[in-house]
Amino acid sequence: MADNIFSKWKEGLERTRKSTFGRIATMFGATEIKADTWDELEELLIQADLGVETTMRLVKKLKTQTSELGLTKSSELQQVLHDELLSLLKVPEQLPLDGISPAVILLVGVNGSGKTTTAAKLGKLYTQQGKKVLLGAADTFRAAAIDQLQVWADRLGLQVVAGQPESDSGAVAYDAVQAAIARKFDIVLIDTAGRLHTRYNLMEELKKVHRVVGKAMPGAPHAVLLVLDATTGQNALHQAKAFQEAVHVNGVILSKLDSSARGGMAFAIQQELDLPIYFAGLGEKPEDLTPFDPEAFVNNILLNQN
């Protein structure tokens, strides 16, 4: 892995490392494994937002492994924990976008989760891969949302299709896809308005945007990515379930991992929802989005503090 990406992961996961996972790492001194060790580990993993189910399953596996391998020192548990944590995270397959032009990606999520920023970051990432990217400003609820995306687009040299504030968001999404077809763009990133997953009308509106995009281009959207704020912890699971019920979510972008001490929810997302995490947000700048790398993630949350 390139040094700068490694340090991005290392810096980005500092808070998560220093909270719960760091305490787990220091717990693994040279002491013997006792009944207390398991209780303490269980407590720390739950605090780290792994979720109760995932924690229970993990601790059970660790116990089995420990007795099978005949481990007696808790320091020996460290490697086993590392490997088991890693096995909870799938290496995400590629998004199913190959050979599709334009590939339409819909970004969804609750208010403030990071959708607009992530649209810009993805725009940069795909541009760097040589793709021609169009942004669709389908958040028509807030006037400022269109400006916000436009500012990012100007900075990154990307084009935007936007409607009037308070115009129909489905119509803007439709226009963006049509424009991308006509002007031969490779990727269309559609930013949608933040919506509380518990609000029926807003979730219905999202379904409509989804349907309308499919009318503009059969098969679209080709990917629906749910942007989840890593600082929300276990509530993210409720959000994800509601969005999954409303539209077909392909996977997750975990934003704000750098602001979060609760990165453990990455495990819960994969284990309890079976959703792959495609990208991680490790900062506010356009270059601070990187493909999710399970190995870098686990290594850096358990990295020794000393």
Ligand X SMILES: Nc1nc2c(ncn2[C@@H]2O[C@H](COP(=O)(O)OP(=O)(O)OP(=O)(O)O)[C@@H](O)[C@H]2O)c(=O)[nH]1
* Partner from ligand X, Mg ion, none binding residue 20, C-beta < 5-8 Å depending on class: none
Q: Kindly state whether residue 118 participates in binding Mg ion, applying the rule CB under 5 A.
A: no
> Inter-axis angle of helices 294-301 and 3-12, to 10 degrees?
50
Chain residues in the site for ligand X (CB under 6 A): 109, 111-117, 139, 145, 194, 255-256, 258-259, 281-284, 288
The first and second tokens of residue 90, run together, are: 């799938």
Q: What are phi and psi of 153, to 5 degrees?
A: -60, -45
Q: Which is nearer to ligand X, 152 or 174 (CB)?
A: 152
Site for Mg ion contains 169 (CB under 5 A): no
Residue nearest to ligand X (CB): 194
Does 192 help bind Mg ion (rule: CB under 5 A)? no
Q: Is the dihedral of CA 32, 35, 41, 44 positive or negative?
A: negative
- Torsion over CA of 206, 210, 213 and 218, rounded to 10 degrees? -170
How many CA atoms within 13 Å lie on the side-chain side of 124? 18
**From the list ligand X, Mg ion, none, which binds 111 (C-beta under 5 to 8 Å, kind-based)?**
ligand X
Cβ proximity to ligand X: between 17 and 115 the closer is 115
Separation CA 228–CA 165 (nearest Å): 25
Closest approach of ligand X to the CB of residue 289, in Å:
7
Distance CA 8, CA 282 (A): 7
SS3 percent helix, strand, coil of the chain, rounded to 5, is 55, 15, 30
CB 111, min distance to ligand X, A: 4
Q: How far apart are the first and last CA of the chain?
A: 22
Distance CA(268)–CA(55), nearest Å, equals: 9
Of 55 and 117, which CB lies nearer to ligand X in the complex structure?
Answer: 117
Rounded to the nearest whole angstrom, what is the least distance from the CB of residue 216 to ligand X in the complex?
22
197 binds, among Mg ion, ligand X, none (CB under 5 to 8 A by kind): none
Work out the angle at residue 239's Cα, subtended by the Cα atoms of residues 50 and 257, and round it to the nearest 5 degrees: 50
Q: How many CB atoms lie within 10 A of CB 169?
A: 24
d(CA 146, CA 195): 16
Smallest gap from Cβ 290 to Mg ion, in A, equals 21
Shortest Å distance, C-beta 272 to ligand X:
22
Nearest-approach distance from CB 110 to ligand X, in angstroms: 7
- For ligand X, the closer of residues 180 and 280 by Cβ is 280
* Least distance between ligand X and beta carbon 232 (Å): 12
User: Considering the complex, what minimum distance in angstroms separates the CB of residue 52 from ligand X?
Assistant: 27
The piece of 34-42, 91-99, 114-122, 260-268 that touches Mg ion (CB under 5 A) is 114-122
Cβ-based nearer residue to ligand X, 139 or 186: 139
- Rule CB under 5 A: choose which of 47, 55, 74, 116 binds Mg ion: 116
From Mg ion, ligand X, none, interface partner of 284 (C-beta below 5 to 8 A by class):
ligand X
| H/E element, 301 | helix 294-301
Rounded CA-CA distance 251/226 in Å is: 6
Pick between residue 145 and residue 254 the one whose CB is nearest to Mg ion: 145
Residue among 167 and 259 whose Cβ is closer to ligand X: 259
Question: Interface with Mg ion by CB under 5 A: which residues?
Answer: 115-116, 145
